[in-house]
Amino acid sequence: MFVLSFLVRRLAQGALIVFLVTLLIFTLLRVVPGDPVRLMAGGMAPEALIEQIAKDMGLRDPILVQFGRYMGGVVRGDLGQSFVRPASGASTGGSSFGDSTRGERAEVLTLIGETLPMTLQLGGLAILFALVFSFLVGIPGGLAPGRWPDRVAFYISSIFISLPNFWLGIVLAMLLSVQLGWLPAIGYGGFAYTILPAIVLAVELAPVLIRTLTGSVAGVMMEPFIAVGNVRGLSRSRIIVAHALRNASVPLLNLIGIQISGLLGGVLVVEFIFDYPGLGLLTITAVLQRDFPLIQGIAIVTSAIFVFINIAVDLIATMIDPRLEY
């Protein structure tokens, strides 16, 4: 009953958020300078033709009308078609624009559908790496506040936080891939290609997780129920595993919910460096080409993912700590 009402409430909120994000992106794209039709048709196309195409595509209608039309498609599961990319794959150059080719332009949904799983795989692996590493470093740190494991955790997170991701990406690619030949780096030809970019992302995620984990484990260890646990006859390992970690994981979960939103920036950079064919790379090219429908589609999908992840995180947190009720 509680879970159901929670889900209904949060999904309704989430739909509203996604809608607002879409509206915002949509409006912004239409007020920033740079006419996509000019880019599509190429610099040499006559003004009249551009106007004609723009009219045909509905780009000269009032923004609200355009938005209504677009949302009409979205609710039917139609995110529109790319301005630039043909269905076959590579993006078309401006000069080859011809109105007759419109039918062959790639579906935004298909483009996203091809790249999203790659990015989810990358993000998932990065979070896994980051979690395992922060547990290994953060928990001993939290259990010995002020002593050496705590300082080790502190130094590691300080070092990690000061490594720029593009630099680390390049260095790791040089070292592990070019020099040692342990891992493939550029492009994608199998699961092994995900590992190196995931490590770079994990290094970006880990410092905050380590600090939060050290802090919250140390905080929980000061709670009276931990000290009393010993007098009640519970063993130390049981107290740590069954109670301290349980309580400390709630702030960690909330943090992950926030961090994942922050992961997007890292994904853009890392996918670009490693030429990893994911959503990040798609976003970069879409922005460079002013491919409005594609940018919008990516915005909707990513904001929906954030909404889902945050709902999931909160749901798990309430299951761990029933006092929280979102």
Pick between residue 96 and residue 235 the one whose CB is nearest to other proteins: 235
First to last CA, the chain: 14
**Cβ 326 to other proteins shortest distance, Å:** 11
List own/partner pairs for 311-314 with CB under 8 A and 24 or more apart.
311/7, 311/10, 311/11, 311/14, 313/253, 313/254, 313/256, 313/257, 314/10, 314/254, 314/257
Nearest to 81 by CA among 113, 105, 98, 58: 105
Indicate the residue among 234 and 284 with the shorter CB distance to other proteins: 234
Query: In Å, how far are 80, 142, 316 from 102, measured between CA atoms?
Result: 12, 59, 46
* Least CB distance to other proteins at residue 229 (A): 8
Give the nearer residue to other proteins in terms of CB position, either 186 or 234.
Answer: 234
- Report, in Å, the least distance between residue 288 CB and other proteins: 46
Which of 221, 73, 196, 70 lies closest to 141 in space, CA to CA?
A: 221
The amino acid sitting at 255 is L
3-state secondary structure of 107: strand
> What tokens were used for 144?
């010995």
Least separation in angstroms between CB 75 and other proteins = 24
Q: Secondary structure of 213-259 in the HEC alphabet? A: HHHHHHHHHCCHHHHHHHHHCCCHHHHHHHHHHHHHHHHHHHHHHHH
CB 217 within 8 A of CB 138: yes
Nearer Cβ to other proteins, position 7 or 136? 7
Residue 250 or 294 with smaller CB distance to other proteins: 250
Pick the closer one to other proteins by CB: 10 or 290. Answer: 10
Minimum CB–partner distance for residue 308 and other proteins (Å): 20
* Shortest distance (Å) from residue 315 CB to other proteins: 14
Q: How far is the CB of 170 from other proteins (least distance, A)?
A: 44
Contact 112, 297 (CB under 8 A): yes
Q: Which is nearer to other proteins, 2 or 191 (CB)?
A: 2
Q: Please report, as ranges, the residues that interact with other proteins according to CB under 8 A.
A: 1-2, 5, 8-9, 223-225, 227-228, 230-235, 238, 242-243, 246-247, 250, 320-323, 325
